[in-house]
Amino acid sequence: MFMPNRKILFRLQLAFTLAVCAFLVVPVVLSILAGLTVNYFAGLSSGLTLRWVFAVWDGYRDTIFLSLGIALACLLITLLLGVPTAYVLARSRNRMSRLIEELLVLPIAMPGLATALALIATYGTLGGFRTSWAFILIGHVLFTLPFMVRSVLAVLSAIDLKTLEEGAASLGAGFRQRFFDIVLPNCRNGILAGSLMVVTLSMGEFNMTWLLHTPLTKTLPVGLADAYASLRLEIGSAYTLIFFLMIVPLLLAMQTISRPRTTRFISDDPDNTLDILPVPETKK
């Protein structure tokens, strides 16, 4: 039987991985170029220009700011709702908390369409609410909250939270002090990772937002769909380019955060603080 040796195996896998990378990256490059070309159908030979980018900015500036605003508001709400939830789930590992975790995951399991339709069916008649950006915000929070909770919960579960809190309590710290002195500082990474995730997901959310939006409350992806449907391909591409510019730094930041930090362990005690008994002289 053909048994490839390690080097060939490595090369094959590397080639495969590179091909997959190309599959993912090439369209992105193509679309960026399309947004910068004078005429897409003529190709690169027609020259590069920024006019499409400016056109998008002029026409869709409000949309872009609204997306940003919703993303930040979404972040704030998920922090306020999600961090305490993660704390409770980390401290009480009983059947109730497992049930809560299951429930939390439901909005992700459900198709965005279903969640949006459900919201419309229930609150669609409240005119003012229905046409405000708060309506979209609700959908975004439902969708992103589990990610924040899970991110913080992952970090809190990795430390022995109960004993740390007991240690703080033994020194006299009440619940509020413990929460701010011990719990929050120790889940900082989880909060950071969760925050990036929430903002990124909110900015890119489309399935729900398409049904929830009104002509006055358009988000970036919604505007994008509009542009593709009704305007030149170059404008749609330029719009996509702006989207990339906003989202790629966030994605890169997320990846840097998730890389494990190396801790330096200084195990040797050069000053021998551990030696207390004088070592008896050995007979030579």
Stretch that binds other proteins, among 49-57, 58-66, 111-119, 125-133 (CB under 8 A): 111-119
Q: Mask 13-32, x = binds other proteins (CB under 8 A)?
A: xx-xxx-xx-xxxxxx-xx-
214 interacts with other proteins by CB under 8 A: no
- Interatomic CA distance for residues 263 and 249, integer angstroms: 26
Q: Which of 74, 213, 240, 242 binds other proteins (CB under 8 A)?
A: 240
- Interatomic CA distance for residues 210 and 267, integer angstroms: 57
Between 23 and 128, whose beta carbon lies closer to other proteins?
23
Q: Which of 230, 273, 279, 282 binds other proteins (CB under 8 A)?
A: 273
Residues from 43 through 62 that contact other proteins (CB under 8 A): none
Q: Which of 176, 265, 280, 282 binds other proteins (CB under 8 A)?
A: 265
271 interacts with other proteins by CB under 8 A: yes
Of 147, 224, 218, 154, nearest in space to 186 by CA: 154
Q: Which of 99, 105, 216, 245 binds other proteins (CB under 8 A)?
A: 105
- Interatomic CA distance for residues 20 and 60, integer angstroms: 34
Residue 1 DSSP SS3: coil
Which position has the token pair 């997306």?
67
Stretch that binds other proteins, among 49-57, 58-66, 81-89, 125-133 (CB under 8 A): 81-89
- Interatomic CA distance for residues 171 and 87, integer angstroms: 21
- Interatomic CA distance for residues 196 and 256, integer angstroms: 11
